[in-house]
Amino acid sequence: MQSLDERKLTHEAFLGEWCDPRDLMLIKRGSGEVEGLGRVSDIRYDKLGDAPNRSWGVTTPDCDEPGQYAYAFSCPPYGLEGPSAKIQRLFKQSTELLLDRSAPIEIFDWSGGDLTRVHPLFEAGMEWWGAFLFTIFNPGDHSMVVISGSTTD
């Protein structure tokens, strides 16, 4: 059996360009109209307030780029329902649990290779939205979290 190509990531590379790693603030990439602000581009979620997280002209990262967890979380194919502030809180709380800064965790991205070798369900995502497969290992307590995503319409 052929093995997948894993890429070891830093916290920042795991999060990708859709997140400010200093404060885990999501960034809505692309451009659109925001009530009270007019037309904006690449705006942080804290500037959106309670505006609903609606689709707008987005730029998507290259599926071969390592990381991009924040993109996979915040920009699924049919969007997340609810105000941006609520989505931001959920992202920050869950990401702080995943990336426990007090533990020497190891993050690997397996998405750079042919994920259909893992399971054929990844094929559809590789054609459209993207396919993601990450592992986060904590050698201190020997625990591992696996995050995967693949979807299409």
More confident residue, 81 or 11: 11
Evaluate whether 138 touches 144 at the Cβ level (below 8 Å).
yes
At 73-132, the pLDDT tens digits run: 988 877 777 888 889 999 999 999 999 878 889 999 988 777 877 878 777 777 666 788
135 is a domain residue: yes
The position carrying tokens 């969007």 is 79
pLDDT at position 55: 53
Evaluate whether 15 touches 6 at the Cβ level (below 8 Å).
no
63 is a domain residue: yes
Total structural domains in the chain? 1
Answer yes or no: is pLDDT of 141 > 60.
yes
pLDDT at position 146: 94
Answer yes or no: is pLDDT of 53 > 60.
no
Beta-bridge partners for 146:
135
pTM for the full model? 0.85
The position carrying tokens 């990708």 is 16
Distances (CA, A) of 110 to 3, 5, 38, 39, 144: 10, 6, 39, 37, 14
71 is a domain residue: yes
2 is a domain residue: no
59 is a domain residue: yes
1 is a domain residue: no
Mean pLDDT of the chain: 83
More confident residue, 49 or 75: 75
User: Pairing state of beta strands 143-150 and 19-20?
Assistant: unpaired
Residues of the domain holding 55: 7-150
| Cα distance between residue 41 and residue 27, in whole Å | 10
pLDDT at position 52: 55
Count of CA atoms in the C-beta half-sphere (13 A) of 29: 15
pLDDT at position 1: 39
